[in-house]
Amino acid sequence: MPESATTPEPDWLPDGFEIRTADTNGVRLSAALGGRGPLVVLLHGWPQTGRAWAEVMPALAEHYTLLVPDLRGTGASDRPADGYDKRNQVDDLRGTIDALGLTGPVIVVGHDIGSMVAFAWALHHPDDVTAAVLVDAFLPGVDLEESMNVVTGGSWHFGFFMAPHFPEMLVDGHELEFFTTTFRALSAEQVFTDEHLAFYAKAYEGRDRLRGGFGHYRTLLEDGRENRAALATGQMTVPVLSIGGRGSVGTRTTEALEPHVERLTGLVAPTGHFVAEEAPEWFVRNVREFLAATTDTVAAGRS
């Protein structure tokens, strides 16, 4: 079994959680662990770390065991040269669960890049996953490719981040300025303090840390090909809650998922891109309601 260990707790960590590390799939991942009940894995996006879930972790931990990793290439986890395709990152997480002695199946919740990993988990390993919550992200093989086409009005940053070397070279030394602009442009509610912004800028400071973050983008075309191949074989059977921020993705990903997901629930949050931070109480309430209804239905179907 891969090695696991307890490491010092960061200042942002809520009471009742500890930081654990696990060597798995050729990488050492750092993750917060706490709570009790069914296992929920919370997957952050870019440019963040597991800290992204700090506002909702205490409330969710009342009913669930939470595993909150820093994805490979980010935070306190290793930054390998490769392995950022989303199916491989699912193997990172499956191995972490084994290393820490946890048991599934899991409920997987992802935001942004983390949503892409969560989607890959539910799509390619449906027996692992009780339910998936996908928060404000376009998904490879579903609607991402269209949303990244700048010719038709798509977002420019996908192509920029996918380019080799250039993003690190241009952002290096400008992390705080770049991330401050990014967070404030994508938020409907300006909830990110100077301390938040400084934390994330530090977490991605320097070309090596930036490279780890941009690695998540450099596999997106491969991720899309793998997802399309799997979706061509039939609908997803894992129940999915798709949440889009009103000032961001909105209903677009939910609409794109409709042909592919057998049991799909769509919601629009009263937020921009950062749903769990901009409206934590709304997020917790709606996720709890979805999971309560969904896990009861799944349990009945398995009995």
Q: What is the pLDDT of residue 155?
A: 85
187 closest CA partner among 196, 63, 99? 196
Query: CA triplet 94, 1, 122: central angle to 5 degrees?
Result: 10
pLDDT-derived band at 302 (thresholds 50, 70, 90) equals very low
Residue 55 belongs to some domain of the structure: yes
At 150 the pLDDT is 82
Rounded-to-integer distance, Cα 226 and Cα 87, Å: 9
- Residue 149 CA to residue 288 CA, distance in Å, equals 35
Peptide bond into 47 cis (omega under 30): yes
| Chain segment 210-229, per-residue pLDDT in tens | 999 999 999 999 999 999 99
pLDDT attached to residue 153: 80
Predicted confidence (pLDDT) per residue in 128-146, tens digit: 999 999 999 999 999 999 8
CATH of the domain at 273: 3.40.50.1820
pLDDT computed for residue 226 by the predictor: 97
Read off the pLDDT of residues 109-120 as tens digits, 9 standing for 90 and up. 999 999 999 999
Residue 21: inside a domain: yes
Interstrand relation of 65-69 and 27-35 (parallel, antiparallel or unpaired): antiparallel
pLDDT digits (tens, 9 = 90+) for 24-53: 999 999 999 999 999 999 999 999 999 999
Give the list of residues 6+ apart from residue 43 with CB closer than 8 angstroms, or none: 69, 71, 93, 108, 109, 110, 111, 113, 114, 115, 117, 118
Average pLDDT, the chain: 93
In a domain, 89, yes or no: yes
Using H for helix, E for strand and C for coil, what is the string for the chain?
CCCEEEECCCCCCCCCEEEEEEEECCEEEEEEEEECCCEEEEECCCCCCHHHHCCCHHHHCCCCEEEEECCCCCCCCCCCCCCCCHHHHHHHHHHHHHHCCCCCCEEEEEECHHHHHHHHHHHHCHHHEEEEEEECCCCCCCCHHHHCCHHHCCCCHHHHHHCCCHHHHHHCCCHHHHHHHHHHHHCCCCCCCHHHHHHHHHHCCCHHHHHHHHCCCCCHHHHHHHHHHHHCCCCECCCEEEEEECCCCCCHHHHHHCCCECCEEEEEECCCCCHHHHCHHHHHHHHHHHHHHHHHHHHHHHC
Residue 167 in domain: no
pLDDT at 154: 80
Total-model pTM: 0.94
pLDDT digits (tens, 9 = 90+) for 240-281: 999 999 999 999 999 999 999 999 999 999 999 999 999 999
What pLDDT, on a 0 to 100 scale, did the predictor assign at position 76? Answer: 96
pLDDT, tens digit, 9 for 90 and up, residues 88-98: 999 999 999 99
For the segment 54-81, the average pLDDT, to the nearest whole number, is 97
Q: What is the pLDDT of residue 296?
A: 57
Residue 223 and residue 141 in contact, taking contact as beta carbons nearer than 8 Å: yes
C-alpha 227/C-alpha 168 separation (Å) is: 28
pLDDT band at 295 (very low <50, low <70, confident <90, very high): confident
Residue 104 has pLDDT above 90, yes or no: no
Which pLDDT score, from 0 to 100, does residue 148 have?
Answer: 86
- Residue 294 tokens read as 């969904």
Range of the domain at 256: 4-147+222-302
Domain count, the chain: 1
Within a domain: residue 155? no
For residue 190, being part of any structural domain is answered with: no
Is 19 contained in some domain?
Answer: yes
Average confidence (pLDDT) over 277-288: 98
pLDDT bracket for residue 2 (50, 70, 90): very low
pLDDT on residue 297: 53
- Residue 181 pLDDT greater than 90, yes or no: yes
CA distances from 62 to 261, 294, 300 (A): 29, 18, 23
Q: Which pLDDT value is given to residue 29?
A: 98
**Residue partners of 275: CB distance under 8 A and separation at least 6:** 111, 135, 136, 243, 245, 269, 282, 283
Q: Is residue 23 part of a domain?
A: yes
